[in-house]
Amino acid sequence: MTNPGNDNNRGSSPLRPNPVNNPSGPQPPVRFSPRLRWIIGGVLVVGIVVSQSIRVIPAGFVGVVFSALSGVKPDPLEAGLHFVVPFVDGVTLYDARLQEVTLARETAQSDEGSIRARSKEGLDITADVTVQFRIDRNKAAILHKELGRNYINTVLRPQVRSKVRDSIGQFGAADLISNQRTQLEASITSELNKAFTRNNLILDAILLRELKIPESVAQAIEQKQTAEQQVAVETNKLRQAEISAQRDVVKAEGEAKAAVATAKGQAEALSLRGRALKENPQLIQLTVAERLAPGIQTVMLPSDGNFLLDLKSFGTQTLPKVAQNPAMQTPAAPTPVQPNN
C-alpha cells in the first residue's frame, strides 16, 4: 500500500505532472529582480522626458512656446535644436518664409475667386490678384496670441479684397486698362502695408494678374483711344507744317537781310571807290588797264602821229620808260605875228 505522505512517491503522483518526466508541461514564470525593474523603468522615464524636452525647429520656421504655467512666451525659437520644459511647454511652428495667396478665377476654392469691384464710373471690374507676404518672425508670438495659425483666412484674404475694391473705386475704367495700372498697384500696396503691419505681417508685393472690364465698355474705350490717337497724329502733322512754314519765313527773312547787307556793302564800296578816284585821277587809267588786260593785245596811244604798239612784240619783257609825250605836255602859247606895214 502506498503512503500518500511519502515524498518519494509525491513526484510520481498522477495528479501532479513531473517536470522531469513531462518536459512539455507549464514552465515556471521568469522573475526579475527589483533592482533590474527600477533600472528599466528609469530608462523609460528618462527617454520620455528627453523626447518631450527637445524640439527641433526646421529651417525657415519659427517656434512659438506656450507654457502651461505662464502662457505664450514672447521670444520665438529660431531654426535649430532647443530644450523646453517637458509636459509644460508646447511649441507651435510658423512658416516664416515667403508665401503667396492668389485670388483668381481659376482658383478651386470659392472663397479665393476673383475680386469684383466697381470703377469710378460705376462699371464692373474683375481683378485677379496675387499677394506675396511673410510673417514678422520677431512678432510671431503676438501673431499666435492674437490671430492664431488660421491668420490667412481670418485677416489676409478679407483685407486684400477690401483694399483692392477701395483702390479700384478711385480710378476710371479706361485709366485702369491703359496707363494707370502702376498707380493702382501703388495704392493697393500702400493700404495693405498699413493693414499688414497692424497684424504683424510683412507685405512683399502685390501682383495684378488681370483687370477685366465688360466687353462692350472695352470696345468703346478702344474706339475712343483710336480716335484720340488719330487726332494726335493730325495735330502732330499740323505742328510740323507750322514749323516748316516758320522755317521758310526765317529763311526768307535771312536771305532778305543778307541781300540788304550785300547791297549796303556794295554801295559803301562804290562810294569809297568813287571817293578814291576823285582824289586820285590816275586810278582811272589803272582801272582801264586792268579791265583791258589780258584780252587786248594792242593799245593805241593818242599822239600827233597816231601809231599802234603791238604788245606781242614785247612779250614778258619790261617796257622801257617812255619819255614824256610832247603831245601830253601843255602846248606853248603861240607867238603873236606882227602885221606888215
Judge whether residue 88 has pLDDT over 80: yes
User: Residue 299: CB partners within 8 Å, gap ≥ 6?
Assistant: 292, 308, 309, 311
Enter the C-alpha cell of residue 76. 520665438
Residue-level pLDDT at 180:
85
Residue-level pLDDT at 283:
67
**Mean per-residue pLDDT, 95-113:** 78
The predicted-structure confidence for 18-39, as pLDDT tens digits, reads as follows 555 555 555 666 566 777 778 8
Residue 210 CA to residue 168 CA, distance in Å, equals: 13
Give 140's pLDDT tier (boundaries 50, 70, 90).
very high
User: Residue 131: CB partners within 8 Å, gap ≥ 6?
Assistant: 100, 101, 102, 103, 156, 160, 192, 203, 205, 206, 207
Q: Where are the domains of the chain?
A: 50-95, 99-213, 230-284
Q: Which of 245-249, 267-271, 302-306 has the highest mean pLDDT?
A: 245-249
Residue-level pLDDT at 245:
86
Residue-level pLDDT at 156:
94
For residue 22, the SS3 value is coil
CATH of 99-213, one of 3.20.10.10, 3.30.565.10, 3.30.479.30, 3.40.50.150: 3.30.479.30
Residue-level pLDDT at 303:
53
Contact 60, 96 (CB under 8 A): yes
Residue-level pLDDT at 111:
52
Q: Which residues pair with 128 in a beta bridge?
A: 210
Of how many residues is the chain composed? 341
The phi and psi torsions of 218 (rounded to 5 degrees) equal -65, -40
What average pLDDT does the structure give for the chain? 78
